[in-house]
């Protein structure tokens, strides 16, 4: 569905110094290579200014690459922007493609004409989105009067009316409350699995990734730092897992080979132990622990996805320093 | 444009304006009056002189009316381009690029304000008055020219708008520059060209083809010689000049958008 090879994009940034204007070249995307197969759901994450939006703008034909190769559904986005537009849907969390002072339903109707969707297909797709996203009562509300959450549901419906093969979402959950976020995630997961719509989304909310994207791409300074299933990245970057045990009676931490007692709480009632996921399994460890101490409760804690990404950045930073 | 989407987009804009009926009516009347206030300037001028550059009051009114109608129609569709800096700054322009339509027509239909029709109505009234008083020897060709002139003029104004607003792709706040040409050329075209100094006249006749909006066609209708010596058939070429201006504007716009996508935001 998406084929990107050595994609680069530079910007000239004016730096005014007195009356003289100098131009500095900033590389926003610096040799990015990846593929996304049809039906995948991929999370594209990175800090602000990492090059996420620039990549997305090149994939959707808004910006022309400085160099490199892009194909989206076998189309070159920079050359055939309009052909591509018919086959993909794009949602920008921070800008609207709806008509501000028209009722939401009128916006949908106009988009139907713009994308030349048959009345029958339109009805079916709209009804489905309206039902799943609970938009029924808002169809006659002018867009400017919608809440952010309602509007985002409208934006996503708008992007899906022409049944795109690929849906690109730039920060779709930004600024939404928890309930709205959850509702959107559920809906997106549904169209990905049921309709087979390919998803590519950028986000700062890592719960989006956890819920929606089996695959994660991390970008920083215009380069892809990591690309793979979340689980793999986690194992690679944070090889330690943590076992938390609550004892019945306060006591010292159990002494098991290959396990480090990190800290204890509540006067020795609770202990945090870390172990290498490559060397031992949680099950083996628990068997050994319960032989030594009387355990009231225990839990295996996976590193938070934030930690995974923070470690990826850190690793990149260390490499930069070493260079 | 084989598809019907643009009329529908315009219709959607109009519907949202009509929802405020009273303010719409008031706006419309205000616009008619605004057009007539400019008229007062001409009338006061002719209170002191009997001819301007060799043209009578009614003849000048005819030019003024042609320019007014043309500008009114152009403003209806191209006036939205004044929003371009905002579109670029807020990223709305990116939304236009996401759609399977051209960017220029999308902007043109994005904000058609029907109340601007008030100006056109006001100018048509002046045209009717002027035509009745200047004494034209009517022929079918002259009738056609009378109808074609404001339309060709609208295309010329529209082209000026597109070309000058394209500057905003390089300098985002280039609107003042653009307005100097769009609104400035409206003022220019309302009077006979020969009252202006030679360099300005030359620029406005052939670089910015403002003189083809009202002046040259009026000469042809009135059967007058150009005081500056251009042959009589020039007055019949406005539609041609308009077509040429539209083509040039189309190229400039494409070039500007290519620049935006190449080095854009």
Please indicate if any CB of chain B lies within 8 Å of the CB of A320. Answer: no
Average pLDDT over residues A225-233: 85
Q: How far is B7 from chain A (nearest CA, A)?
A: 11
Find the residue in A nearest to B96 (Cα): A97
User: How many CB pairs lie under 8 A apart between chains A and B?
Assistant: 64
Whether residue B37 is predicted with pLDDT greater than 80 in this model: the reply is yes
Q: Give Cβ neighbours of residue A243 (< 8 Å, ≥ 6 apart).
A: A259, A272, A273, A274, A275, A282, A285, A286, A289, A298, A299, A300, A301
Average pLDDT over residues B11-19: 77
Q: How far is A217 from chain B (nearest CA, A)?
A: 24
**Distance (Å) of CA B207 to CA A162, B34, B150, B185, B194:** 45, 29, 19, 12, 16
Percentage of residues in chain B with pLDDT exceeding 70? Answer: 97
Note the pLDDT of residue A275.
Answer: 84
Whether residue A17 is predicted with pLDDT greater than 70 in this model: the reply is no
Per the CB < 8 Å rule, is A113 touching B261? no
Per the CB < 8 Å rule, is B97 touching A81? yes
Paired tokens of B183: 């609104």
The CA distance from A39 to A276, in Å, is 34
Contact yes or no for A181/A187 (Cβ under 8 A): no
Domain ranges across chain A: 2-234, 239-302
Number of Cβ atoms within 10 Å of the Cβ of B208: 23
Please indicate if any CB of chain B lies within 8 Å of the CB of A64. Answer: yes
The CA distance from A55 to A170, in Å, is 11
Per the CB < 8 Å rule, is A114 touching B263? no
Sign of the Cα pseudo-torsion (A80, A82, A87, A89, in order): positive
Contact yes or no for A54/A29 (Cβ under 8 A): yes
Note the pLDDT of residue A323.
Answer: 65
> Nearest Cα to B117, choosing from B80, B145, B77?
B77
Note the pLDDT of residue A18.
Answer: 65
Average pLDDT over residues B116-142: 91
When pLDDT is cut at 50, 70 and 90, the band that residue B126 belongs to is: very high
Residue among B86, B92, B98, B261 with most chain A CBs within 10 A, to mutate: B98
Note the pLDDT of residue A61.
Answer: 92
Whether residue A7 is predicted with pLDDT greater than 60 in this model: the reply is yes
Q: What's the mean pLDDT when you consider all of chain A?
A: 87
Please indicate if any CB of chain B lies within 8 Å of the CB of A282. Answer: no
Average pLDDT over residues B204-209: 78
Contact yes or no for A229/A289 (Cβ under 8 A): no
Paired tokens of B241: 């000049």
**CB nearest to B98's CB, from A60, A94, A102:** A60
**Distance (Å) of CA A176 to CA A107, A148, A158, A185, A212:** 22, 7, 18, 12, 16
Q: How far is A9 from chain B (nearest CA, A)?
A: 9
Average pLDDT over residues A62-75: 93
Find the residue in A nearest to B258 (Cα): A64
When pLDDT is cut at 50, 70 and 90, the band that residue B253 belongs to is: very high
Average pLDDT over residues B103-124: 87
Paired tokens of B79: 């006036």
Whether residue B265 is predicted with pLDDT greater than 60 in this model: the reply is no
The CA distance from B171 to A217, in Å, is 36
| Dihedral Cα B18, B23, B25, B27, nearest 10 deg | -110
A2-234: CATH superfamily: P-loop containing nucleotide triphosphate hydrolases (3.40.50.300)
Note the pLDDT of residue B52.
Answer: 87
Per the CB < 8 Å rule, is A62 touching B94? yes
Query: Which residue has 């959107």 as its token pair?
Result: A184
When pLDDT is cut at 50, 70 and 90, the band that residue B264 belongs to is: very low
Residue among A58, A62, A90 with most chain B CBs within 10 A, to mutate: A62
Per the CB < 8 Å rule, is A92 touching B95? yes
Number of Cβ atoms within 10 Å of the Cβ of A183: 18
Average pLDDT over residues A83-87: 94
Pairing of strands A2-17, A67-72: antiparallel
Query: Which residue has 């052939």 as its token pair?
Result: B206
Note the pLDDT of residue B100.
Answer: 92
Contact yes or no for B264/B173 (Cβ under 8 A): no
Average pLDDT over residues A125-135: 92
Through-space distance between the first and last CA atoms of chain A, rounded to whole angstroms:
36
Whether residue B32 is predicted with pLDDT greater than 70 in this model: the reply is yes
Q: How far is B153 from chain A (nearest CA, A)?
A: 30
Question: Radius of gyration (Cα) for chain A, nearest Å?
Answer: 24
Which residues of chain B make contact with A62, given a CB cutoff of 8 A? 94, 97-98, 261, 264
Note the pLDDT of residue A193.
Answer: 93
Whether residue B243 is predicted with pLDDT greater than 90 in this model: the reply is yes
Per the CB < 8 Å rule, is A12 touching B97? no
Q: How far is A90 from chain B (nearest CA, A)?
A: 7
Per the CB < 8 Å rule, is B16 touching A60? no
When pLDDT is cut at 50, 70 and 90, the band that residue A19 belongs to is: low
Note the pLDDT of residue B256.
Answer: 93
Whether residue B188 is predicted with pLDDT greater than 90 in this model: the reply is no
Pairing of strands A295-301, A270-276: unpaired
Residue among B100, B107, B169 with most chain A CBs within 10 A, to mutate: B100
Note the pLDDT of residue B2.
Answer: 41
Contact yes or no for A143/A107 (Cβ under 8 A): yes
The CA distance from A308 to A237, in Å, is 6
> Nearest Cα to A305, choosing from A244, A242, A237?
A237
Q: Give the tens place of pLDDT for each residue, A169-191.
A: 998 888 888 888 888 999 999 99
Whether residue B1 is predicted with pLDDT greater than 50 in this model: the reply is no
Whether residue B163 is predicted with pLDDT greater than 90 in this model: the reply is yes
Question: Radius of gyration (Cα) for chain B, nearest Å?
Answer: 19
Whether residue A131 is predicted with pLDDT greater than 50 in this model: the reply is yes
- E strand intervals along chain A: 2-17, 20-36, 41-45, 67-72, 88-92, 166-170, 198-202, 215-220, 223-229, 240-247, 259-265, 270-276, 295-301
Note the pLDDT of residue A208.
Answer: 86
Note the pLDDT of residue B263.
Answer: 54
Number of Cβ atoms within 10 Å of the Cβ of B61: 24
Per the CB < 8 Å rule, is B261 touching A62? yes
Three-state SS string over chain B comes to CCCCHHHHHHHHHHHHHHCCHHHHHHHHHHHHHHHHHHHHHHHHHHHHCCCECCECHHHHHHHHHHHHHHHHHHHHHHHHHHHHHHHHHHCHHHHHHCCCCCHHHHHHCCCCCHHHHHHHHHHHHHHHHHHHHHCCCCCHHHHHHHHHHHHHHHHHHHHHHHHHHHHHHCCCCCHHHHHHHHHHHHHHHCCCHHHCCHHHHHHHHHHCCHHHCCHHHHHHHHCCCCCCCCCHHHHHCHHHHHHHHHHHHHHHHHHHHHHHHHHCC
Per the CB < 8 Å rule, is B12 touching A102? yes
Q: Give the tens place of pLDDT for each residue, B42-72.
A: 888 888 888 888 889 999 999 999 999 999 9
Contact yes or no for A274/A262 (Cβ under 8 A): yes
Paired tokens of B37: 């206030």
Query: Which residue has 């022309």 as its token pair?
Result: A64
Domain ranges across chain B: 20-263
Average pLDDT over residues B129-139: 90
- For the ranges A70-79, A123-132, A152-161, A290-299, the lowest mean pLDDT is seen at A290-299
Length of chain B: 265
Pairing of strands A2-17, A20-36: antiparallel
Q: How far is B221 from chain A (nearest CA, A)?
A: 43
Note the pLDDT of residue A65.
Answer: 93
Per the CB < 8 Å rule, is B92 touching A62? no
**Phi, psi values for residue A243, rounded to 5°:** -115, 125
When pLDDT is cut at 50, 70 and 90, the band that residue A317 belongs to is: confident
Q: Give the tens place of pLDDT for each residue, A266-306.
A: 778 888 888 887 777 888 888 888 888 888 888 888 777 67
């Amino acid at each position: 569905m998406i084929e990107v090879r050595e994609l680069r994009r530079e910007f000239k940034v004016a730096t005014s110094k007195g009356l003289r204007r100098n131009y500095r070249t900033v590389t926003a995307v610096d040799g990015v290579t990846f593929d996304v197969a049809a039906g995948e759901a991929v999370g594209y994450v990175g800090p602000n200014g990492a090059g996420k939006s620039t990549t997305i703008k090149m994939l959707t034909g808004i910006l022309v690459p400085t160099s490199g190769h892009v194909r989206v559904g076998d189309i070159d986005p920079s050359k055939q922007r309009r052909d591509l537009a018919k086959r993909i849907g794009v949602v920008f969390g921070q800008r609207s493609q709806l008509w501000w002072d028209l009722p939401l339903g009128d916006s949908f109707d106009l988009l139907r004409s713009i994308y030349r969707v048959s009345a029958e297909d339109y009805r079916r797709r709209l009804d489905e989105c309206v039902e799943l996203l609970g938009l029924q009562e808002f169809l006659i509300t002018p867009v400017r009067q919608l809440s952010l959450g309602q509007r985002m549901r409208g934006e996503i419906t708008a992007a899906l009316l022409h049944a795109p093969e690929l849906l690109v979402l730039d920060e779709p959950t930004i600024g939404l409350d928890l309930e709205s976020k959850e509702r959107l995630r559920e809906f997106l997961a549904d169209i990905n699995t049921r309709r087979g719509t390919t998803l590519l989304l950028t986000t700062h909310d890592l719960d989006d990734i956890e819920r929606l994207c089996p695959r994660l791409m991390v970008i920083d300074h215009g380069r892809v730092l990591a690309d793979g299933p979340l689980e793999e990245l986690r194992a690679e970057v944070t090889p330690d897992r943590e076992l938390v045990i609550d004892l019945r009676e306060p006591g010292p931490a159990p002494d098991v080979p290959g396990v480090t007692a990190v800290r204890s709480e509540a006067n020795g009632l609770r202990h945090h132990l870390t172990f290498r996921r490559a060397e031992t399994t949680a099950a083996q460890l628990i068997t050994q622990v319960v032989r030594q101490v009387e355990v009231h409760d225990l839990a295996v804690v996976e590193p938070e996805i934030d930690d995974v990404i923070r470690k990826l950045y850190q690793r990149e930073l260390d490499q930069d320093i070493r260079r | 444009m084989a598809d019907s989407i643009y009329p529908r987009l315009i219709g959607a804009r109009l519907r949202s304006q009509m929802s405020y009926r009273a303010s719409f009516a008031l706006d419309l009347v205000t616009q008619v009056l605004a057009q007539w206030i400019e008229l007062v300037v001409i009338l006061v001028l002719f209170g002191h002189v009997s001819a301007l550059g060799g043209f009578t009051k009614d003849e000048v009114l005819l030019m003024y009316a042609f320019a007014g109608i043309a500008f009114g129609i152009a403003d209806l569709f191209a006036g939205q381009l004044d929003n371009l800096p905002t579109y670029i700054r807020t990223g709305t322009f990116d939304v236009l690029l996401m759609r399977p339509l051209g960017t220029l027509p999308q902007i043109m239909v994005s904000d058609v304000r029907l109340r601007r029709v008030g100006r056109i109505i006001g100018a048509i009234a002046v045209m009717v008055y002027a035509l009745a008083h200047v004494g034209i020897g009517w022929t079918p060709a002259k009738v056609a020219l009378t109808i074609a002139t404001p339309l060709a003029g609208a295309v010329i104004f529209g082209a000026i708008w597109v070309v000058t607003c394209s500057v905003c792709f390089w300098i985002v706040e280039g609107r003042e520059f653009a307005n100097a040409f769009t609104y400035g050329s409206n003022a220019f075209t309302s009077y006979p060209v020969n009252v202006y100094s030679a360099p300005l006249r030359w620029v406005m006749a052939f670089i910015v083809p403002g003189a083809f909006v009202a002046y040259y066609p009026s000469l042809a209708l009135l059967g007058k010689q150009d005081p500056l010596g251009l042959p009589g058939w020039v007055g019949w070429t406005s539609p041609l000049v308009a077509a040429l201006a539209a083509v040039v504007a189309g190229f400039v716009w494409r070039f500007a958008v290519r620049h935006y996508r190449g080095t854009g935001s």
